[in-house]
Amino acid sequence: MGMLLQQAAPTVIALIVIAALALLWRTSRSIWLVVALAAELVGLVFRFAVSFMPDLARSTSVFFTIWSLSALVFAIGLLGYAIEQSQKAPR
């Protein structure tokens, strides 16, 4: 049970984050959320690739670099949205 949870948790977390971003996007239509959502989807694809094609991850030297860059783009998108919303908020 513990091993299954350990393997499934990152995927479940990514799906929850994607759902949250999609719900936020429905109300605000912010381009920053689109950036974050796209990057999180790319990260999920990489996670599936590691799970189902581990040889690809080992044989492709830039695999983990691109995966890390997608996480960086996600963080930038989320930060951009937070800044955008903080500037809209009444003071």
| pLDDT tens-digit series, residues 42-76 | 999 999 888 888 888 788 889 899 999 999 999 99
Strand ranges (DSSP E) for 1-91?
none
- Rounded-to-integer distance, Cα 71 and Cα 63, Å: 13
- Rounded-to-integer distance, Cα 28 and Cα 16, Å: 18
* Structural domain that includes position 35: 2-88
- The total number of structural domains in the chain stands at 1
Question: What is residue 36's predicted lDDT score, i.e. its pLDDT?
Answer: 98
Question: What is residue 72's predicted lDDT score, i.e. its pLDDT?
Answer: 98
